[in-house]
Structure 1
Amino acid sequence: MAAKSSSRGSTPPPPMDDLEFARWVRLLETRTGVTVPPERKPFLVTGLRRRMRETGHTDYSRYYEELLDGARGAVEWAALVDHLTVHETHFFRHLPSLELIRKEWLPLWAQDVAGDQPVHALSVGCSTGEEAYTLALVLDRALGEHGGYRRFGITATDVSQSALSMARSATYPLSRLEEIPAAYRAEGIEPDGEDQFRIAERLRKRVGFACVNLMHASRAPLRQLDLIYCQNVLIYFARERRGELLDGLARLLRPNGLLVLGPGEVTGWSHPQLMRFGGRQTLAFLRQSKETQA
């Protein structure tokens, strides 16, 4: 977005006072649900200044007003969100959760479904795709181990368009290959030049990406799900909002569906149709079957 000439210049913005900080925090929380506590003010200021420098802005108020300027502001807002969203992730990030899916939940799920019913999974806050493709690798291998091959599909969501673009390419530096256990590499990875690799095409076809905010996930056009993987996402939301978000995700689960969270991300939350599942190293909830609910 081109800034007005009067807002351009090489002079950096002045220090952000508490009133200005509170205004930006309200905007970010209203639009994305992400909350920025006072101790994370440097994070917000750094990301904001970086984007303002790129667009030539030197005044917080002028930039704020332009973000509210209809379609033009919406385009710039999307670019700013990319600067304020943390994209740190890697393959097989939390092994206990993945082992819970593979060894404990999938055998239970397979016993309860008929025929070749596919697994429908959701990866929330997928960033640049590592988590979604990890799920694809795990499901592909595990479903073959439990009664023959079954189909599966994964919807992966994030608020960052640039992160999703990288995820769709499914291409990663060769240095990241060591994050993937050797047992998964032979059939799930393709070489792509000398210094990078790509997720195998048959797995790429199983993953679809969409720009969806967790606040709106329960209203998104998602089919009933068997597995929801939501790790390292809730920590960016206010504690009082996390229960509401989880209630929305719970409504998307089929009977015997599994909701997997990051350990320690939420405490004290419960749902009348969900029960804790798994051991101490994981935080997961199983939607009770129709028979159990009855």
Structure 2
Amino acid sequence: MQLTDREFQLISSLVNKICGITLGEKKRSLVAARLQKVLLSGGFGSFQEYYEYIIQDTSGEALLNLVDQISTNHTYFFREKEHFDFLINVALPGISEEQRNTGRRKVRIWSAGCSSGEEPYTLAMILKEYLGGNSLHMDAGILATDISFSVLETAMAGIYPADKMLQVPISYRQRYFSPLKDGNWAVKQCLKDMVLFRRLNLMSREFRFKGLFQVIFCRNVMIYFDKATRRELIEKLHRYTEPGGYLLIGHSETLDREAGLYKYIKPSVYKKI
């Protein structure tokens, strides 16, 4: 089905209003491809008809389905390994030293835009390995959020095909996953217990979190936002970062250093001022 200029404008404006994602002309073919099956399965004669159905649906389910289709991103275990090396070599030792000085026993990491779960489960494996036997005495947890219900369902199920496991070290695979008869791999409960999955729209005014995070991963999320939306999100992330805590973003993303919210540490790694 052909996606006209007007139809693309209507859909992209709606997506931007709801979740801040900016769909430029380069994303037009992606939008058309991802929505084709929705139109065909729903019996819609055009993208205009589909758009009208969304805005007239009082249940909100059609809108959530649209967001699911547009916001789902590619991810994999240990993506951008340099970030996890930084976590192991710098961030976690710093947290450990602070805890020795204060007596605190809490580690909180937020995976914002967690997609299908590979990132937070990678973080859980790293925490398990780093803490070792101390994990039983440490209150360590990971909050994993995404706007898409469908990817959160995949993440919570914790079942991944064999090709998704190629980036997972064999020793980790043996400790933290169970092979299934169909060739898939299932995340073990010891990892699932460390991760709390929740749906969250990053465009929400407030996030209603109980505490602050020592480390926030918000990677390859802001590439879809315009400058004003990025600035607004960074201000919110700053409010929920502990003093001296870290924000890690995608390698193709940057922060405005003049804003005075985070100090540049290295490419895609920042520390709260």
Q: Matches of residues 97-176 of structure 1 in structure 2 within 5 Å?
A: 97-113=83-99, 114-144=102-132, 150-176=138-164
TM-score scaled by structure 1? Answer: 0.85
Q: Matches of residues 1-294 of structure 1 in structure 2 within 5 Å?
A: 12=1, 15-72=2-59, 74-113=60-99, 114-144=102-132, 150-216=138-204, 219-222=206-209, 223-277=211-265, 279=266, 282-288=267-273
CA distance in 1, matches of 2:239, 2:86: 22
Deviations, residues 136-162 of structure 1 (Å, cap 9, x unaligned): 111121233999963311111111111
Contact kept? 1:143, 1:149, Cα under 8 Å:
no
CA distance in 2, matches of 1:270, 1:101: 25
Kindly, what percent of the aligned residue pairs are identical? 27
User: Which deviates the most, 146-155 or 196-205?
Assistant: 146-155
Does the C-alpha gap of structure 1 residues 194 and 67 become closer, same or farther in structure 2, counting only changes over 3 Å? Answer: closer
Letter in 1 for 2:65: A
Deviations, residues 139-193 of structure 1 (Å, cap 9, x unaligned): 1212339999633111111111111101001111123222112342332222233
CA distance in 2, matches of 1:255, 1:227: 10
User: Which deviates the most, 173-182 or 249-258?
Assistant: 173-182
Does the C-alpha gap of structure 1 residues 208 and 148 become closer, same or farther in structure 2, counting only changes over 3 Å? Answer: closer
Shift of 1:96: 0.4
Contact kept? 1:232, 1:265, Cα under 8 Å:
yes
Shift of 1:80: 2.1
Q: Which SS does the other structure have where 1:97 is aligned?
A: helix
Shift of 1:70: 4.3
CA distance in 2, matches of 1:274, 1:79: 35
Contact kept? 1:144, 1:150, Cα under 8 Å:
no
Deviations, residues 124-145 of structure 1 (Å, cap 9, x unaligned): 1111101110111111212339
CA distance in 2, matches of 1:273, 1:191: 44
Gaps of 5+ in 2: none
Contact kept? 2:220, 2:252, Cα under 8 Å:
no
User: Which deviates the most, 134-143 or 114-123?
Assistant: 114-123
Tell me the C-alpha RMSD between the 2 structures.
2.1
User: Which deviates the most, 173-182 or 119-128?
Assistant: 173-182
CA distance in 2, matches of 1:84, 1:70: 18
Runs of 4+ displaced beyond 4 Å: 145-149
Please identify the structure whose Cα radius of gyration is greater: 1
TM-score scaled by structure 2? Answer: 0.91
Shift of 1:205: 0.8
Gaps of 5+ in 1: 1-11, 289-294
Q: Which SS does the other structure have where 2:31 is aligned?
A: helix
User: What is the number of residues matched between the two proteins?
Assistant: 270
